[in-house]
Amino acid sequence: MIRLATAPATAPTVDGHLAGSITLSGVALGCALVLFFAVRKADRLKHLHNRDGIGVFGIVTGTTWMAAGSSWAAAATGIAAVPTSVLGAGSGLGNPGVGGTAVALTALTFLPGWKRTLWPALLGISAAVVYASAGGVWGMLVNTVRMLVGNITGAL
C-alpha cells in the first residue's frame, strides 16, 4: 500500500520568533563563526574586517556567549582571564574596579592601531565578560542584547 504525505492540519506560523527554533547557544555559535571568518578576512565579511568592526562584533559575540551560559560563558571567561588579571584589582595598577576595567578593555579594543584584527576580537570578547559583571550602564548593554536575542529566538 502506498501512503501519501498529507499537509499539516494548520499552516506553520512564525509565533513571534523570527529565527524559528534557534537557541542562544545557536546564536553564540553563529556569532563565533562570523567573528572567526571576519578575522580570517572572508570575502563576504569585508565590511566587518577592520579594527572597529571586529571590535564591535567581538563585544557582540562575547555578550551572546555570556547570555548563552554554560560552555560558551566558560570560553568567554577563559579568554577574558588574562586581560582582566593584567588590568583589574591586584595587578599593580591600583584597584580600578570592574567598571574601570571595562573602560580600559573598551579603550584597548578600539584605540590602538592594531595591525592584526585578532587582538580587537579577543579584547572585545573580554570587554563583554567584564560588562556582564560590572553592572550599571555596562550591564544594561549585556541585558539588552540578552533580551533582544532571547525574544527573537524564543529562548526566554
Torsion angle of C-alpha atoms 74, 75, 80, 81, degrees rounded to 10: 60
- Number of domains, the chain: 1
pLDDT for 4 beyond 60: no
Q: Which range of residues forms the domain containing residue 67? A: 24-153
Q: Is residue 11 part of a domain?
A: no
Closest CA to 83 of 44, 109, 60: 109
Q: Is residue 64 part of a domain?
A: yes
Q: Is residue 1 part of a domain?
A: no
pLDDT tens column, 73-83: 999 999 998 88
Q: Is residue 70 part of a domain?
A: yes
Which of 10-14, 55-59, 135-139 tops mean pLDDT? 55-59
Q: What is the pLDDT of residue 89?
A: 65
Q: Could you count the other beta carbons within 10 Å of the beta carbon of residue 69?
A: 12
Q: Which 8-state DSSP code applies to residue 21?
A: S
Q: Which residue has the higher pLDDT, 86 or 126?
A: 126
pTM, two decimal places: 0.80
Q: Is residue 15 part of a domain?
A: no
Q: Is residue 19 part of a domain?
A: no
Q: Is residue 121 part of a domain?
A: yes
pLDDT for 147 beyond 90: no
pLDDT for 20 beyond 70: no
Q: Is residue 17 part of a domain?
A: no
Q: What is the pLDDT of residue 86?
A: 84
